[in-house]
Amino acid sequence: MMNDLQTGEPEEVTVSEWIITLIITIIPIVNVVMYLVWAFGNSAKPSKANWAKASVILFAGIVILYLLIFVIVMGIGAF
């Protein structure tokens, strides 16, 4: 496979790379670190970087929503 410097197109992520990526994401602690490395580092392929950025944004949104619901429920006193 030629890289993007030779062809002008970004490299594709292969099926085996996606399988390894998904296996890494099920390992606690390591997954958070790797999501951040893939999202904000320069070594990941563009499609994997975009996927990681979207995953980080969704995760942050879910955490914020969870905390908001937690504060509301605790404020009401219905625990």
Give the residue-averaged pLDDT of 33-49: 94
Q: What is the mean pLDDT of the chain?
A: 90
Residue 46 CB partners (closer than 8 Å, separation 6+) = 10
Give the residue-averaged pLDDT of 43-64: 96
For residues 8 and 49, give the distance between their C-alpha atoms in angstroms, rounded to a whole number. 18
pLDDT at 26: 97
Give the residue-averaged pLDDT of 21-44: 95
pTM over 0.95? The answer is no
**Domain residue ranges of the chain, discontinuous segments joined by +:** 4-76
- Chain centroid to CA 73: 29
Task: Give the angle subtended at the CA of 46 by the CAs of 45 and 47, to the nearest 5°.
Answer: 95
For residues 43 and 49, give the distance between their C-alpha atoms in angstroms, rounded to a whole number. 9
